Homo-oligomer: A and B are copies of this chain.
């Protein structure tokens, strides 16, 4: 049986964290966003009946089960596909890392939407410049510095965030690093110079056979200015 992934068409967005997990797992999935009526299917799902209405995409459908919220989807997929270690302590630690990645993603999103998601970037450019300066100069180094510390403190070595094997959190950190490099080339380069374990983890993930194949395929949409990570040079405070 195949998963269904619902997300908005035309952007990686938060759906990409789920795609990376499904791709690494080699799990069959239907990416509804890439079908002709993907946007309509998404809208219908959000407004449809059922006991578990999603607040927002991404949404994973697994038979009768609907799961929304990126971190909850990964919590659901992890044990099914070997994307998290065994044992409660390692699973809760992996999830804690994932929630911190989610916080970083929200802060990056709000660099271009500090006032309202419902407004265009062009309607909040002065506010965006102030927020982006803080995110580039303070928050990105702080988040990446914490991931560096987590990797350095891992008793199994600095290859992976939790334990001695890849987890969904590693896939998400890869995506965060890739997105930061796209959106803020100067600020990301500076922060990554100080966090070599994080930079190496990005490369290690990108070389996984299934991830490398995915990144080279047309299933991997390019970054663009509709997603979370947007390249507005005036917001790159390097």
Which residues of B sit under 8 angstroms from A95, Cβ to Cβ? Answer: 69, 72, 75
Which residues of B sit under 8 angstroms from A149, Cβ to Cβ? Answer: 53
Q: Are A51 and B153 in contact (CB under 8 A)?
A: yes
Which residues of B sit under 8 angstroms from A76, Cβ to Cβ? Answer: 88, 92
Which residues of B sit under 8 angstroms from A69, Cβ to Cβ? Answer: 95-96, 99-100
* Cα of A130 to Cα of B130 in the assembled complex, Å: 14
Q: Smallest distance from the beta carbon of A129 to chain B beta carbons, Å?
A: 10
A75's partner among B92, B150, B155 (CB-CB below 8 A) is B92
Using a CB–CB distance below 8 Å, which chain A residues touch chain B?
A: 49-53, 55, 65, 67-69, 71-72, 75-76, 88-89, 92-93, 95-96, 99-100, 103, 106, 110, 114-116, 118-119, 124, 127, 130-131, 134, 138, 143, 146, 149-150, 153-155
A118's partner among B67, B100, B138 (CB-CB below 8 A) is B138
Q: Smallest distance from the beta carbon of A53 to chain B beta carbons, Å?
A: 6
* Cα of A51 to Cα of B151 in the assembled complex, Å: 9
Q: Return the chain B residue nearest A102 by Cβ.
A: B99
Q: Are B146 and A134 in contact (CB under 8 A)?
A: no
Q: Smallest distance from the beta carbon of A120 to chain B beta carbons, Å?
A: 13
* Cα of A114 to Cα of B93 in the assembled complex, Å: 29
Which residues of B sit under 8 angstroms from A72, Cβ to Cβ? Answer: 92, 95-96, 99
